[in-house]
Amino acid sequence: MGTVEPQVSTAQDAPQAQTIDGFQLVIDALKLNGIDTIYGLPGIPITDLTRRAQADGMRVLAFRHEQSAGYAASIAGFLTQKPGICLTVSAPGFLNGLNALAHATVNCFPMILISGSSEREIVDLQQGDYEEMDQLAIAKPVAKAAFRVLHAEDIGVGIARAIRAAVSGRPGGVYLDLPAKLFAQAIDAAAGRNSLIRVVDPAPKQIPAPEAVKRALDLLKGAKKPLIVLGKGAAYAQADADIRALVERTGIPYLPMSMAKGLLPDTHEQCASAARSFVLPAADVVMLIGARLNWLLSHGKGKTWGGKGHKDWGGQKFVQIDISPQEADSNVRIDAPLVGDVGSCVSALLAGMGAGWSKPPAGWLAAVAEKKNGNVAKMAETLAKNPVPMNFHSALNVVRDIVKANPDAMFVNEGANALDFTRGIVDMYQPRKRIDVGTWGIMGVGMGYCVAAAVTTKQPVIAVEGDSAFGFSGMEVETICRYNLPVCIVVMNNNGVYKGTDVDPTGRDPAPTVFVKGARYDKLMEAFGGVGVNATTPAELRAGLEDAIRSRKPTLINAVIDETAGTESGRITSLNPSAKKK
């Protein structure tokens, strides 16, 4: 985490230079720790905090809904390794931000939700204050840590604790409760400044034990059919060169989880994404790097892994690199847990490998390559088709080309089919470019992610959004236009959730999965001065994307997709109780 020189402002407290108030101490404490951006939404009691932070040189990005501000903060944390700050008002604003706080904790993104709150005395006696709510108690179960500051002289400690909790060990979401009265408290200026803490080494390295490194290497050495799985923890670590070196020096085929795509280019010869359903059951030793054996990896067992029944172990042995010592054995036995930060673990493995490491058996590599090449050829055939109306494949074939030509661009993705097809078809070439629905498969992250991606990286942003997914944060196109961000949103418009063909059997209402047919999402962008494009062909989609990247103007392309093209729940139909019965 970077640091900046302490900046203690004088402008705001000029009339009473000998005192400093709570507003200023919060701002100074954040700036002292290199935090220069706030994602939020103003109102009582934090309106002046947003104004004064901006006047003091911080970037304050104001959203139309706190949930989007929270998602923006969470992904800013993932991209920068500094806690992303979301600032909200009390009760309803806090609750709107809470979803993102939980999301940050579940996804291991460092984030701090700072919410103003009402009078403690009234809240605790439940006497009915304006926006009364015991926010600290409500935040605790979904936060990695939660704190409240009651006295101005404790602001420095409160913010230091929040920063350490957010970024150290396994990162997560932290809640910081700041009651209204705190902001106006004035204390002696010199004492106030002295109370601020510049956090030293907020995310200390955690070096793995030498015997754990040896155990992992021994297991890998004996493997006949080894596999590496890269998770978003590996992407977060920013240990890109060492991770690539480890993959290449071992010669082991690897699978990137969704947000680890691009850690090595998806076109890398060792990438086994196109042979996923072959390598998972066939592998004998699997090394997980910053990836958890949760539902996204079928809990490390069952048919996906070659087990007989849906809960049976497939026989694999696992090496697991994770910063949390509690992660191992969460789903199946981990034979070689390697506890430490991903960067330290990977460099310890590289050092321990020594010279003369032999590549995996040629038969295994040939079998993986054969499966992969077969599937890639099949996909190429599908992508080459040009049906009318467009389907997911013909539209994504265009997106794939545009991303290949613009590998620096950030890439946001949410939806069901709009997510699953995109993840499979659109290759990523650089680390931490792809950001998506994450651990929960959540809808609504889209526009918040676009704003944070543009602001933190300054690169153009391409977002591929299901029409349902887009709706969760669609009003933030105004935010994107207001800050004139280089964001191009492609709405994969198939008239609904999964597809647009359902009907109400009683004939009364539209089906719950269906939207207004032929909706023109591009007009929404035009309403705020951005560029709207209605694309019914791959050529129109290509032209729209190319113009958007070139102009860096906020753009929304309404990509008209065959409403029959999707499948129920995309690739996770089996998790859907009624669909499973069919």
Ligand X SMILES: Cc1ncc(C[n+]2csc(CCOP(=O)(O)OP(=O)(O)O)c2C)c(N)n1
Footprint of ligand X (CB under 6 A): 415-418, 441-444, 466-469, 492, 494, 497-498, 566, 570
Residue 338: closest CA among 299, 291, 301: 291
Q: How far is the CB of 533 from ligand X (least distance, A)?
A: 19
| Three-class secondary structure of residue 486 per DSSP | coil
Residue 272 three-state SS: coil
Three-state DSSP class for residue 454: helix
Chosen residue from 413, 494, 555, 569 binding Mg ion by CB under 5 A? 494
Q: Which does residue 570 touch among Mg ion, ligand X, none (CB within 5 to 8 A, set by kind)?
A: ligand X
Contact 375, 274 (CB under 8 A): yes
- Contact between 21 and Mg ion by CB under 5 A: the answer reads no
Closer to Mg ion by CB, 360 or 466: give it.
466
**348 touches which of Mg ion, ligand X, none (CB within 5 to 8 A by kind)?**
none
Pick what 110 binds: ligand X, Mg ion, none; C-beta below 5 to 8 Å, kind-dependent: none
**Residue 320 found at the interface with Mg ion (CB under 5 A):** no
466 scored as a contact of Mg ion (CB under 5 A): yes
Give the nearer residue to ligand X in terms of CB position, either 73 or 219. 73
What's the rounded Cα separation, in Å, for the pair 545 and 394? 14
Nearer to ligand X, 226 or 415 (CB): 415
Q: Provide DSSP, 493-507.
A: E-SBSS-S----TTS
- Least separation in angstroms between residue 416's CB and ligand X is 3
Q: Give least dist CB 553 to Mg ion, A.
A: 25
Part in contact with Mg ion (CB under 5 A); list of ranges 143-151, 213-221, 336-344, 464-472: 464-472
Task: Report in angstroms how near the CB of residue 419 gets to ligand X at its nearest.
Answer: 7
Q: Does 22 bind Mg ion (CB under 5 A)?
A: no
467 binds Mg ion (CB under 5 A): yes
Stretch that binds Mg ion, among 52-60, 145-153, 360-368, 492-500 (CB under 5 A): 492-500
Q: Which is nearer to ligand X, 126 or 578 (CB)?
A: 578
Q: How many residues bind Mg ion (CB under 5 A)?
A: 3
Strand-strand pairing, 317-322 and 336-339: parallel
Least distance from C-beta 359 to Mg ion, angstroms? 44
Which of ligand X, Mg ion, none binds 171 (CB below 5-8 Å, type-dependent)? none
Alpha-carbon distance 288 to 321, whole Å?
A: 6
**Distance in Å, CB of 494 to ligand X, minimum:** 5
User: Smallest gap, in angstroms, from Cβ of residue 93 to ligand X?
Assistant: 19
Beta bridge partners of 339: 322
307 contact, one of ligand X, Mg ion, none, CB 5-8 Å limit per kind: none
Q: Where are the alpha helices (DSSP H) in 428-562?
A: 446-457, 467-471, 477-482, 522-526, 538-551
Say whether residue 414 binds Mg ion (CB under 5 A). no
Nearer to ligand X, 32 or 395 (CB): 395
Nearest residue to ligand X, using CB?
466
For residue 259, give the nearest of 504, 110, 439, 58 by alpha carbon. Answer: 439
Cα(464)–Cα(396) distance, rounded to whole angstroms? 9
Smaller CB distance to Mg ion: residue 549 or 559? 559
* Neighbouring residues of 400: CB distance < 8 A, sequence distance ≥ 6: 383, 425, 426, 427
Nearest to 469 by CA among 415, 522, 516: 415
**Which residue's CB is nearer to ligand X, number 80 or number 493?**
493
Considering the rule CB under 5 A, would residue 446 count as an interface residue with Mg ion? no
Distance CA 262, CA 407 (A): 9
Tokens 């492609």 map to which residue? 490
Which DSSP category does 208 fall into?
A: P
Query: Is 131 an interacting residue with respect to Mg ion (CB under 5 A)?
Result: no
Containing H/E element for 557? strand 555-560
Shortest CB 497 distance to ligand X, Å: 4
132 or 414: whose CB is closer to ligand X?
A: 414
Residue 569, interface with Mg ion (CB under 5 A)? no
Q: Is 226 in the site for Mg ion (CB under 5 A)?
A: no
According to the binding rule CB under 5 A, does residue 300 interact with Mg ion? Answer: no
State the first-to-last Cα distance of the chain, in angstroms, to the nearest integer: 51
Give every CB contact of residue 536 below 8 A, 6+ residues apart in sequence. Answer: 389, 390, 560
Closer to Mg ion at the Cβ: 105 or 493? 493
| Closest approach of Mg ion to the CB of residue 157, in Å | 48
116 or 444: CB nearest ligand X? 444
Distances (CA, A) of 82 to 135, 160, 262, 300, 380: 24, 13, 21, 31, 40
> Which CB, 125 or 575, lies closer to ligand X?
575
In this chain, which stretch among 250-258, 387-395, 444-452, 458-466 interacts with Mg ion, using CB under 5 A?
458-466
Nearest to 279 by CA among 345, 139, 375: 375
Contacted by 278, from Mg ion, ligand X, none: CB < 5 to 8 Å by type? none
Q: How far apart are CA 542 and CA 322, in angstroms?
A: 41
Q: Tell the smallest beta-carbon distance from residue 260 to ligand X (Å).
A: 21
Least distance (Å) between residue 466 CB and ligand X: 2
Answer with the entry of ligand X, Mg ion, none that 37 interacts with (C-beta below 5 to 8 A by kind): none
- In whole angstroms, how close is the CB of 467 to ligand X at the nearest point? 4
Compare residues 328 and 442 and give the one whose CB is closer to ligand X: 442
Q: How far is the CB of 566 from ligand X (least distance, A)?
A: 4
CB 336 within 8 A of CB 360: no
User: What is the arrangement of strands in the sheet containing 434-436, beginning at the earlier edge strand?
Assistant: 434-436, 410-414, 461-466, 487-493, 555-560, 531-535
Of 435, 392, 389, the residue nearest 416 (C-alpha): 392
Tokens matching residue 419 = 């997510």
Question: Which of Mg ion, ligand X, none interacts with 443 (beta carbon under 5 to 8 A by kind)?
Answer: ligand X
Cα 222 vs. chain centroid, distance in angstroms?
35
Q: Which residues bind Mg ion (CB under 5 A)?
A: 466-467, 494
